[in-house]
Structure 1
């Protein structure tokens, strides 16, 4: 039992390093690195910033992934904390490109990160010949040093040029887009299955323009690992959250989970299973200028496929037979 507790505490520390590493880079490493400009080591940051200027387009051109970073052991501890797994329902032939819808967003998107930005759950063995990319907010790639850390894990900009590049250069590329976006984070509370998807059709249009296959996914457990305090739309706190979203691109959510000690409240997520089910790819024709009618048709087919995927697997992952998948 003591050994088990020590392992759980170590997994908790490894989990915390994921968000804290970004804070450490931003608030400690970056200032220290910039301060070198005022020392005899000034050529180091000077050369980096010159190279940064020359390398500015890389996040929109496939990024710069590192197999070494994606294979760090630290990711396996994060995987085992919940645990996180990936479930394949169909093969993804490497002669095609894929645009994957990631649902739901959750608060910190643990499932998508672990499954598609690391090798902790064995993505390369599960889908041989497929190179995964997870799209995130573009402005993250404007932050020195942090951009390198993000790209090393296979993250890319969610900008249109970035997705266009990946779907038009070679085959075997899979681009994951969290279709519901940050707005879905406010829907992230346990026992809810509400997705912002009804009017989100841009990803379908992009897939049609490149003839990429659409892949529905649903991550069971993503919304179960935190409790969230929800505010009324007329409250000052909700207005602050909306303001924060306009400025920074994501919502300031008030959430809580468990602490290091048993039966305590803290900022650690609950240790509950997270399973990403990857559905059957939906084949799309290539249409450089798809009509709205064509976009609507395949958007409806995608929603049907996602609904089917959820219904087929919900009872195996903690939801009752009566649970419905709702689209906003």
Structure 2
């Protein structure tokens, strides 16, 4: 069953109540995605949306997400085993060499960053949305004749909320396409690079942001990046935003309005060893910057790399018009960035669900 968007004139239910429990008012299996204009946008989901997934569906969701979360380690371990087989076990040398070459040759295959609609509309995304009781709030419909840069936050250990939103935006924004930007390191790994290409994600660079807009798409950027992985946990929802102004510059240069996007619950999906210690987190952050890859020991459900089953509320705020010019000044960028931070704070406290009691800290 392919999800279909249907806008009806129902009155918007209470957001805090809806955030903690999926809607059960529709006769068909669905979750209601609310717009601020009083209408309800209903997008068909998986076979059940009442939180009772069934053991098989829940386990399948856990396994698939766990594979994605641990794929880096799978590739590293498999590569080491192949090298051991090549160097130490002559009887297995040919098999090990073949597996090693096939695996890493996949990292050289060209990618189509336009996204794979059949994959994004598939049952796997409906399954993941069910797992997280996923809800999507759209404050204002997007104008397909304009350009937008969706500035998404928080990153968390892994931006599951942002990844899953790809399957919804294709339904809510007919006539528009949204490309995204991800850490360049993930595009070095066979398998994982293909997954992100299938959802329309490109390596992070100003050139790729420009390419997305030139292809007639809007652009989504998780602005906190790897640095925000070190801000999870604690008694605050922490964003690494004050020093990140590049996305504002790119929006101004490419003639795109800025859209604040917040995914409540995204920073609650994993625990990090040492997350309560600023010293240990600071050391891991400096090491990560030096090797250009995150160095964190995180765990989720059952102490495995499986995200905790926690509600996700994905809120797309109203677009913020910005000055469009090829070479914006530092002062113009700083002024727009300051206004954007204010809009993020407003969005956070306006839609914060009952289960999110932490104050917001923009750092």
Give the TM bin, normalised by the shorter chain: 0.7 to 0.9
Please name the residue that 1:159 is paired with.
205
Alignment of 1:173-188 (within 5 A): 173-188=217-232
- Tell me how far apart the structure 1 counterparts of residues 162 and 279 of structure 2 sit (CA, whole Å): 33
Task: Name which of structure 1's ranges 141-150 and 299-308 shifts more when overlaid on structure 2.
Answer: 141-150
Partner of 1:262: none
Are 1:36 and 1:45, in contact at CA under 8 Å, matched by a contact in 2? no
157, 161, 182: which one pairs with 1:136?
182
Question: Does the C-alpha gap of structure 1 residues 191 and 313 become closer, same or farther in structure 2, counting only changes over 3 Å?
Answer: farther
Structure 2 unmatched runs, 5+: 1-51, 84-93
SS of 1:133's equivalent in the other structure is strand
In 1, the alpha carbon distance for the partners of 2:270 and 2:191 equals 29
2:123 equivalent to 1:73: yes
What do you get for the CA RMSD once the two structures are aligned? 3.2
Of 101, 108, 127, which residue of structure 1 is paired with 2:158?
108
Q: CA deviation at 1:93?
A: 0.8
Q: Among residues 280, 290, 295, which one is paired with 2:328 in the alignment?
A: 290
Shift of 1:20: 4.4
CA 1:65–1:7: 2 relative to 1, 3 Å: closer
CA-CA distance at 1:215 after TM superposition: 0.5
Please report the TM-score for the alignment, with normalisation by the length of structure 1: 0.78
The answer for the alignment partner of 2:249 in structure 1 is 205
Inter-CA distance 210–325: structure 2 relative to 1 (3 Å threshold): same
Aligned to 2:299: 256
After superposition, the Cα gap between the structure-2 partners of 1:257 and 1:190, relative to the gap in structure 1 and judged at 3 Å, is: farther
Contact 1:37-1:45 within 8 A present in 2 as well? no
Corresponding residue number in structure 2 for 1:242? 286
The yes-or-no answer on 1:313 pairing with 2:351 is yes
Using the alignment, how far apart are the partners of 2:103 and 2:227 within structure 1? 37
The secondary structure found in structure 1 opposite 2:306 is: coil
- 1:12-31: CA deviation from partner (whole Å, max 9, x where unpaired): 223323334565567659x7
Cα distance in 2 for partners of 1:47, 1:244 equals: 27
Note if 1:99 corresponds to 2:143. Answer: no
> In the alignment, which of 86, 90, 103 is matched to residue 140 of structure 2?
90
Equivalent positions of 1:265-280 (< 5 A) are: 265-280=303-318
C-alpha separation between the residues in 2 aligned to 1:80 and 1:46?
34
Q: Unaligned 5+ residue runs, structure 1?
A: 260-264
CA contact (8 A) 1:216 1:281 kept: yes
Aligned to 2:90: none
Q: Which whole-Å CA distance do the structure 2 matches of 1:319 and 1:145 have between them?
A: 35
The alignment partner of 1:218 has SS state of strand
Partner of 2:360: 325
Runs of 4+ in 1 over 6 A off after TM superposition: 35-39, 44-49
Q: Separation in 2 of the partners of 1:46 and 1:221? A: 35
**Aligned equivalents of 2:347, 2:265: Cα separation in 1:** 15
3-state DSSP of counterpart to 2:122? coil
CA distance in 1, matches of 2:57, 2:288: 37
Question: Is residue 193 from structure 1 mapped to residue 243 from structure 2 by the alignment?
Answer: no
Partners of 1:212 and 1:205 lie apart in 2 by 10
How far residue 279 of structure 1 moved from its aligned partner, in angstroms, is 0.4
CA deviations 1:93-122 (Å, max 9, x no partner) are 111121111111111111001112xx2xx3
**Do 1:210 and 1:286's aligned partners in 2 also have CA atoms closer than 8 Å?**
yes
Query: What SS does the corresponding residue of 2:266 show, helix, strand or coil?
Result: coil
The alignment partner of 2:315 has SS state of strand
Q: 1:19 to 1:48 in 2, by over 3 A?
A: closer
